[in-house]
């Protein structure tokens, strides 16, 4: 059985990271158009750096939970027939032990130099005075994160795996952001069974063949084990 799993912010909620669109979510406190677009970064890079510096330091204080760990057991059982695609920019999947993982919206702990186009690991704060470790240029380093209006990463590979999968499982995502919101329909069209595991009904629940609702740390291990 070939399985593609898509995760969103809900899988990391019980580790202590905020989701985006819940009442206490990131976008209830901040305007995404002022922080998560290339235009926002061009207009006020220090504001955008400060937002991601805070989130990078939050990440250091949290740990993977039972849902991240259950996905590692699924990967161990399926090998090459498994692919995990996450919209999350945290690194809790890899800290739990996931290896076959695509960060389609980038990673908080990675940086991208717009002068030399290199991408590299990044710890600590990033500012407009940060120098690229590859080319030395100052002022061209940005978080390696996919903002609104930018192309998510490795989409060809993701679409190919969705076309070939037998089971598509979405975990902890509202289905509000494209192209990830369309994955369920792509998998359905090619005959895959589709399952939603989420705290509550999402915008896309009706698109899935079945759904289980509850906290990820309970419903994900129960589904997998």
Nearer to ligand BJW, 116 or 185 (CB): 185
Alpha helices in the chain (DSSP H): 10-13, 26-29, 32-35, 38-43, 45-60, 66-78, 92-96, 155-164, 183-189, 216-224
Site map 37..76 versus ligand BJW, x via CB under 6 A = ----------------------------------------
Query: Using the rule CB under 6 A, which residue among 151, 156, 191, 225 binds ligand BJW?
Result: 151
Nearer to ligand BJW, 116 or 150 (CB): 150
Residues 6+ apart with CB under 8 A from 222: 212
89 touching ligand BJW, by CB under 6 A: yes
87 touching ligand BJW, by CB under 6 A: yes
25 touching ligand BJW, by CB under 6 A: yes
Closest CA to 168 of 189, 188, 198, 152: 188
Count residues contacting ligand BJW (CB under 6 A)?
Answer: 36
Give dist(CA 160, CA 170) in Å, integer: 17
Query: Using the rule CB under 6 A, which residue among 99, 179, 206, 222 binds ligand BJW?
Result: 179
> Integer distance in angstroms from the first to the last C-alpha of the chain?
16
Return binding residues for substrate. 52, 55
């Amino acid at each position: 059985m070939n399985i593609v799993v898509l995760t969103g912010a809900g899988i990391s909620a019980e580790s202590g990271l905020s989701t985006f669109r819940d009442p206490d979510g990131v976008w209830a406190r901040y305007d995404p158009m002022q922080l998560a677009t290339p235009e926002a970064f061009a207009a006020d890079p220090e504001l955008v750096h400060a937002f991601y510096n805070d989130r990078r330091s939050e990440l250091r204080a949290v740990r993977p939970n039972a849902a991240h760990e259950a996905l590692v057991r699924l990967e161990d059982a399926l090998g090459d027939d498994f692919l995990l695609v996450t919209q999350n920019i945290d690194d809790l999947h890899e800290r739990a032990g996931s290896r076959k993982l695509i960060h389609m919206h980038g990673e908080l702990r990675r940086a991208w130099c717009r002068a030399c186009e290199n991408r590299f690991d990044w710890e600590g704060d990033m500012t407009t005075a940060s120098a690229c470790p590859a080319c030395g240029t100052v002022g061209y380093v940005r978080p390696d994160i996919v903002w609104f209006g930018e192309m998510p990463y490795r989409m060809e590979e993701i679409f190919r795996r969705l076309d070939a999968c037998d089971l598509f499982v979405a975990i902890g995502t509202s289905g509000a952001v494209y192209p990830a919101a369309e994955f369920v329909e792509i998998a359905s069209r090619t005959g895959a069974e589709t399952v939603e595991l989420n705290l509550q009904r999402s915008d896309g629940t009706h698109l899935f063949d079945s759904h289980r609702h509850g906290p990820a740390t309970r419903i994900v291990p129960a589904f997998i084990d």
